[in-house]
Structure 1
């Protein structure tokens, strides 16, 4: 059996890129026989950027509702809020004391922002250590990540190895990164990588009229209606191809190349495809977010009990080595 761990930050409502790139693959992986998945909402990590408590609560609920809307089996897997399991921050402090300063100073997540030191808080600097605590606390063996997170998993292994070496014991399991090169970058409505920071994302759970307004903003060129168009360079076609069947994609390509097919028509097809494909998920999301938030809270609290039970066992091992037991 493989123990798999994935965390999603609560820095906003999940968008199409988050869902296709992280949430859906993690749920698919959790359904494979022999896998045991630990899936958490990384709300402590969001504190490095978001200070408003009401906003954070809303984002936490939206992230949780998205996982449940896409069919996460909370009976088989463990699903919780990071902040509700105090062992995350306790282990983070212990690991801080085994993490060399140069390692954190060279972390890409810090270096990208280090040109503006006044805007960098200590939480951002030790972000990789909290991430290591998240992983090591649950004896996770496999961590599905994007290429940009490979360094953080290597740092986690280095920190765990240093601790194990100090006490000449296998206190921590050394995790392995699983990077799926098949996952392509999901384009945003402006052609850049879909991201909250670029404000170019598609929120699948918007009301229909608001969703259509976003779809209509997808960038396109000025090719006249009657002329053939190149589907391979068009953002709407790229997004449509990620969601449609092979037959639907082939038909859309034929329409682009045949002429007399406008980008507005393609956007309408994408909009209708989203409503059709994600109809069930949109209903479930609305149920947990608006109709029955108590059911959402109950799922999280049940998962937190399960997570806490595992985390306490790890902390007991660590305290024993450190002399804090």
Structure 2
């Protein structure tokens, strides 16, 4: 089986979109994979946008707590913080010297902000090189990515190819992308794609009172209580349908179409479904958030494994380049 590697941004507490779109699918993939998988928290990457050290620590803890709460098997997974393995920074420098400027200038991550160059730091510009080092350091075979990251994966292959060709070696393994066509866009509270940048996300780990307020913020229309409603145009119904079973979805659809059923009722049922479906995960998340030392120990164990694998590759790169 292939070695799978994926990174998770430490830009905040994982929301429902992250859980359904990334965490659960990745954990299922890991369970089906016979070879050890690599999952890392991309805290180096977060520095391109956030300079708040305490917030970064808090976000890193929350990301780790969420993955552990959903049952990530750390015996089968090398689970680590990117910044605790400085080998990746060294490899980034080596790879940057094989990366042509036009390639980086064409990266979406740069072009999206290139009209305001004063807002672009060198870290954002070289983001694809660091991402390449993340992958190549551990000789990953398979990298699950969204379509928005496919270009960066292709750049990783190009950089590895350039290194191998110029150095006359096959040392750097060319990774393959794994894009799931089944991943659906998770709607946010306003109907747009759920995103921290839109501030339209559902945080399933909130205490009940705050969770209720979060769910009540879901935008609905002004159809009166007594009138029938169209479930297919309702944000509450769409979110509910992502978590509910077939019988529950059928019943809620009937409630909408039958009248005398308000959006407040639907939001209440959605909240009850979250509390029931994720009861164990919410409990585990709270435990890990209040026991950061335990999370740190689990990450440190993964970081020791990552060091062993990464150093083996890095030493070979050093030798190729005359640094060892």
The RMSD of aligned alpha carbons is 0.8
Tell whether the 8 Å contact from 2:2 to 2:33 is kept in structure 1 after alignment: no
- CA shift digits 1:13-52 (9 cap, x unpaired): 1111111111111111000142421000000000001101
Partner of 1:293: 292
Secondary structure of 2:6 counterpart: strand
Partner of 1:76: 76
Partner of 2:240: 240
Aligned counterparts, 1:204-223, within 5 A: 204-223=204-223
Tell whether the 8 Å contact from 2:143 to 2:176 is kept in structure 1 after alignment: yes
Secondary structure of 1:89 counterpart: helix
Aligned counterparts, 1:175-324, within 5 A: 175-290=175-290, 292-324=291-323
Tell whether the 8 Å contact from 2:230 to 2:257 is kept in structure 1 after alignment: yes
Tell whether the 8 Å contact from 2:79 to 2:303 is kept in structure 1 after alignment: yes
Partner of 2:145: 145
Aligned length: 324
1:104 partnered with 2:84: no
Partner of 2:28: 28
1:162 partnered with 2:162: yes
TM-score (norm 2): 0.99
Secondary structure of 1:79 counterpart: strand
Structure 2 unmatched ranges of 5 or more: none
Partner of 1:131: 131
- CA shift digits 1:145-185 (9 cap, x unpaired): 11111101100000001111112211111111111111111
- In 2, Cα distance between equivalents of 1:232 and 1:160: 46
Tell whether the 8 Å contact from 1:10 to 1:42 is kept in structure 2 after alignment: yes
TM-score (norm 1): 0.98
Query: Deviation above 4 Å: which 4+ runs of structure 1?
Result: none
Tell whether the 8 Å contact from 1:17 to 1:194 is kept in structure 2 after alignment: yes
- In 1, Cα distance between equivalents of 2:181 and 2:33: 23
Aligned counterparts, 1:6-21, within 5 A: 6-21=6-21
- In 2, Cα distance between equivalents of 1:234 and 1:30: 34
- In 2, Cα distance between equivalents of 1:311 and 1:81: 13
- In 1, Cα distance between equivalents of 2:19 and 2:33: 22
Tell whether the 8 Å contact from 1:29 to 1:35 is kept in structure 2 after alignment: no
Tell whether the 8 Å contact from 2:8 to 2:40 is kept in structure 1 after alignment: yes
Secondary structure of 2:173 counterpart: coil
Partner of 1:114: 114
- In 2, Cα distance between equivalents of 1:37 and 1:299: 15
